[in-house]
Amino acid sequence: MTIWELDFYSRPVVDENNKKRWEVLICETPATIDRSSDTIFKYASYCPNTTVNSQWLGEAITAAIKEAGVTPKKIRFFRRQMNNMISKACEDIGIPASPSRRTHALTRWIEERMVNFYPQEVGYDQNLTKTASVNYPPLNAVPLPDAVRGDKADKWAFVTLELSSFNDIKDWDISFGENLPTLGMGLDENLKIPGLVIFSPRALPLAGWMSGLEMAYLKLETGSRPLLRLETGASDSWILVNVTNAETLNEAKNFEEAKQKANNLHFLAIQSNPESESFAGFWLLQEGTQE
């Protein structure tokens, strides 16, 4: 399934009238662990200041589709303030749009352009780069829906896998999930990648429900009632695990430390039981920031 990532926003460049220039950036989401960012589809186009609207954006997406020779099944975007315009443009051409923090390829591309492309453009204004970052305050985590919430039969465990273990992930029996291009992250193949495995009799419904979300990352929330949050979409947050004792809290802190050592790469796995050789769900995740 082809998924695209899109950003439509002003850049640190002004035109002859000293107005900020708007630009659409579109790139493909790498679907395999060995996909290089140099080989994914990318499309960039400046937008005239007089046509910053959903119609122009829809036409730009259509032009990108023509250039790529493929229509994406979904378009991800991370700027909530552009939700209405991007959603309308995508709706008009019949492509679902999803607010998401799973836009790693796009984020890296924007970072590269901030360093190597925009400073070379006529009208570049370094002061405007300060407005490029996007940081939304975290929302309070909410319980999982009743239909997929665990019961007493559910168990979970913090685990680790060597990075090299993912080299044959395409051969694993996984019902729902998504990968990340780990081979391009510059990490040692023997590095231990932390993860959480959930064992549940309702593994398949839980994984199926999660597959409809934009899976972002897992995050330990400390405080009077520690918990492990599942971050999804542009800013949604779910209570995945309540951390109820000191031993579990220590394991969760070790999980966070291992994440940091692995460039915030980690995973979430869902299985019916510890003896199962298949996964109802398996997602490679990475905590990061959108620019």
Host domain of residue 233? 142-286
| 13 neighbors 19 (Cβ within 8 angstroms) | no
Give a yes or no: residue 291 inside a domain: no
The 3-state DSSP class for residue 142 equals: strand
Predicted confidence at residue 140, as pLDDT, reads: 86
Residues in the chain: 291
Q: How far apart are CA 33 and CA 185, in angstroms?
A: 10
- The pLDDT averaged over each successive group of 10 residues in the chain (291 residues) is 95 93 97 87 96 97 98 96 96 97 94 95 90 64 80 86 94 96 87 96 93 95 91 92 91 96 96 95 86 42
Q: Pick from 65, 53, 56: which is nearest to 4 by CA?
A: 65
Query: What type of residue is 239?
Result: I
Predicted confidence at residue 276, as pLDDT, reads: 93
Q: How far apart are CA 257 and CA 249, in angstroms?
A: 12
269 - beta bridge partners? 197, 282
Residue ending a domain, among 85, 112, 131, is 131
* Domain containing residue 43: CATH number: 3.30.420.10
Shared domain for 122 and 151, answered yes or no, is no
Give a yes or no: residue 223 inside a domain: yes
Shared domain for 197 and 61, answered yes or no, is no
Shared domain for 165 and 233, answered yes or no, is yes
Shared domain for 146 and 66, answered yes or no, is no
Shared domain for 146 and 281, answered yes or no, is yes
Give a yes or no: residue 207 inside a domain: yes
49-75 in b/e form (b: 16+ CB < 10 A) is eeeeebebbbbbbeebbeebeeebebb
Query: What type of residue is 265?
Result: L
Give a yes or no: residue 136 inside a domain: no
Phi, psi of 206 (to 5 degrees): -65, -45
Shared domain for 213 and 106, answered yes or no, is no
Shared domain for 70 and 117, answered yes or no, is yes
Predicted confidence at residue 178, as pLDDT, reads: 96
Place of tokens 């620019």: 291
Shared domain for 161 and 38, answered yes or no, is no
- Burial (CB < 10 A; 0-12, 13-18, 19+), residue 283, is buried
73 - beta bridge partners? none
Helix (H) or strand (E) holding 283: strand 279-286
Give a yes or no: residue 211 inside a domain: yes
Give a yes or no: residue 58 inside a domain: yes
Shared domain for 121 and 152, answered yes or no, is no
